[in-house]
Amino acid sequence: QVQLVESGGGLVQAGGSLRLSCVASGRTFNNYAMGWFRQAPGKERESVAAISWGGGVIVYADSVKGRFTISKVNDKNTVYLQMNSLKPEDTAVYYCVAAPSLATMASGYWGQGTQVTVSS
């Protein structure tokens, strides 16, 4: 059974930092891209950041460029999202995703999500 388990969410003041982690298990994730989506109340789900298997391709949403950093450790099937200079508009449920390619992230394996709340 494939599982993606996120951790690291919480409540933080604006300007603060959080680090999200996600561990994938239940199958071989060789050559899988991993990434993070988020969904705020009343808004559509959006891609935040994604990284290819080898790490050579990284993409970020314009709204988080320069503030968020994605990284992964392949032999641990783990992906991280370092979030700095957090803003209230970053408040959302953050989901970890694993997929065969960056282009298919939305239809890949999803975690249950972790809440991030940024207070002003």
For 64-107, the pLDDT digits (tens) are: 999 999 999 988 999 999 999 999 999 999 999 999 999 999 99
Nearest to 98 by CA among 19, 24, 5, 9: 24
Is the pLDDT confidence value at 61 over 90?
Answer: yes
SS3 content of the chain, % helix, strand, coil (to 5): 10, 50, 40
Give the pLDDT of residue 70: 98
Give the pLDDT of residue 90: 98
Q: And the tokens for 67?
A: 């503030």
Nearest to 79 by CA among 103, 61, 58: 58
Nearest to 8 by CA among 90, 109, 81, 85: 81
pLDDT, the chain, mean: 96
In this structure, which amino acid lies at residue 43? K
Give the pLDDT of residue 71: 97
Give the pLDDT of residue 99: 95
- Mean pLDDT computed over 43-57: 96
Instruction: State how far the Cα of 120 lies from the Cα of 110, in Å rounded to an integer.
Output: 29
Q: Within 13 Å, how many C-alpha atoms sit on residue 65's CB side?
A: 6
Model confidence band, residue 1 (pLDDT cutoffs 50, 70, 90): confident
For residues 11 and 120, the answer to whether their CB atoms sit within 8 Å is no
Model confidence band, residue 10 (pLDDT cutoffs 50, 70, 90): very high
